[in-house]
Amino acid sequence: KRFLRHGIGLHHAGLLPKYRVLVEQLAQKGLLKIICGTDTLGVGVNVPIRTVLLTRLTKYSGAKVATLTARDFHQITGRAGRKGFDDIGYVVAMAPEHVVENAKQEAKAAGDAKKLKKLVKRKPPEGFVGWSGETFTKLQSAAPEPLVSRFQVTHAMLLQVLSRKGDGCRAMQHLIADSHETTAQKKAHTTRAWQLFRSLLERKIIEIRPKAEHAHGGKLRLNIDLQDDFSLNHTLSLYLLDTLALLDSASPTYPLDILTLIESILENPDLILRRQLDALKTEKMAEMKQQGIEFEERIAKLDELEYPKPQREFIYGTFATFCTLHPWVGQESIRPKSIVREMVENYVDFAGYVKLYELERAEGVLLRHISSVHKVLAQTVPPASKNEDVQEIEDWLAGLLRGTDSSLLDEWERLKNPDWKPLEDDADKAPEAIDITKNKREFTALIRIEIFRFLRSLAAGRYDAAAELVAPWTEDQLLELTEAYYQEHERL
């Protein structure tokens, strides 16, 4: 907000989607002078830009830092020059920081031989992947890398194609035949398609219609006991369905265990997991320091720590068994973690979790993970596996997403129904349009979280934070009430 008021926009994956959309809208209206963004700003976003300034010519791909590809470079720099406004666009690339610093020192020496001799040049950081003016020139004239087919047969694709009217199997064969793959790869895709098809058939996710019904809806149909928007959008969704049957529905941790299984088949949001590990290390370091453990031993033990992985033995064991029965799994791996589970288990809302792990610059990453968990819970977990507690979590997650940023849910509805239109954006009417008591499960979860926020603040002695939740009570009143309570309950 502070930057936007000065005509400066921020645009990166860590922002909530609604903020990125706002920046795009303001830029299209010409209300922003500067936009600070990542390379994603140059892909799929219509933002008019006169000058593109590249602070570096390298990019972290998630595994390593490497020089920009010619395609990425052209995509980003191609934004320079506003259609209908400019007859030329400008692209500027900054030199590495240590190169700039050395150039400043040389300029300060002003050609003095003695000063130049004494000059100590600044070295690049360890592991630094550098670039130069030559790199900039080469990228300008480099030919884009050839496109490579990434065609993959998945359960989600099979469900979509096989559910078409007519002969879904024939349509799948044509899809593989028309792909830009080699003959050997097409043969492998066909084999994999049959393996996946048999796995869906064995679990009765799809059923073969009687011949008499072929004329009305094709040869196959989705199991009528599954939800209308049932999907298997993740490679290991079938593992989730198989393993759900192994959980004890009478266990008090059953809803949390379902969340753990769901999070295990999703990609790792690395930044959040690193913050979890950092918090755990800080806590353990304080404990070991209090116990008088030597520094070297403390460091060694900290290196052994991992971010929380609930039910890890159960998950790794069942996944190993699943892999032996399904060779199509290949290189896919299971990824146990606890993010949404931790939020539910500790009664923490979105803002509380962001504050807990200092994720202010990565809110979008957290929101996307929560959205993925909610979609799997709503679309993949069968209704028969959802008791009242699980349904309450599903409704709470929907309310959490809606209250934080409804754009993800709006996009979901838009994909399900092309004629769907969102409610008009009216800040004054928004509070009246949302009735938080309408959904009993969601409302119950919200109340529980607020109560735990209040009690946590009292237990930690943060009476100012507690007073904000129960206005018009003051800090002094809460302090008096708490002291009186402790006097009455000396055992505490």
Q: What is the pLDDT of residues 79-105, one digit of tens each?
A: 888 888 888 999 999 999 999 998 888
Nearest Cα neighbor of 123 from 98, 96, 100 is 98
Report if pTM > 0.85: no
Residue 307, class by beta-carbon neighbours within 10 Å (0-12 exposed, 13-18 middle, 19+ buried)? buried
- Read off the pLDDT of residues 286-329 as tens digits, 9 standing for 90 and up: 999 888 888 889 899 999 999 999 999 999 999 999 988 887 77
Q: Is the model's pLDDT at 485 over the cut of 70?
A: yes
Split at pLDDT 50, 70, 90, the class of 164 is confident
Which residue from 442, 441, 466 is spatially nearest to 453, judged by alpha carbons? 466
Average pLDDT on 259-273 reads 95
Q: With 50 as the cut, is the pLDDT of residue 426 above it?
A: no
Q: Give the rounded percent of residues in the chain with a pLDDT score beyond 90.
A: 40
Average pLDDT estimate for 114-125: 82
> How confident is the prediction for the chain on average, in pLDDT?
86
Give the three-class secondary structure for 459.
helix
Would you say 311 and 258 are in contact if contact means Cβ atoms under 8 Å apart?
A: no
Q: What is the DSSP letter of 51?
A: E
**Which residue's entry shows tokens 């934070």?**
465
pLDDT tens figures, 439-455? 788 888 888 888 888 88
CA distance 410 to 402: 9
How far does Cα 276 stand from its chain's mean position?
15
- What are the DSSP E strand ranges found in 94-219? 206-208
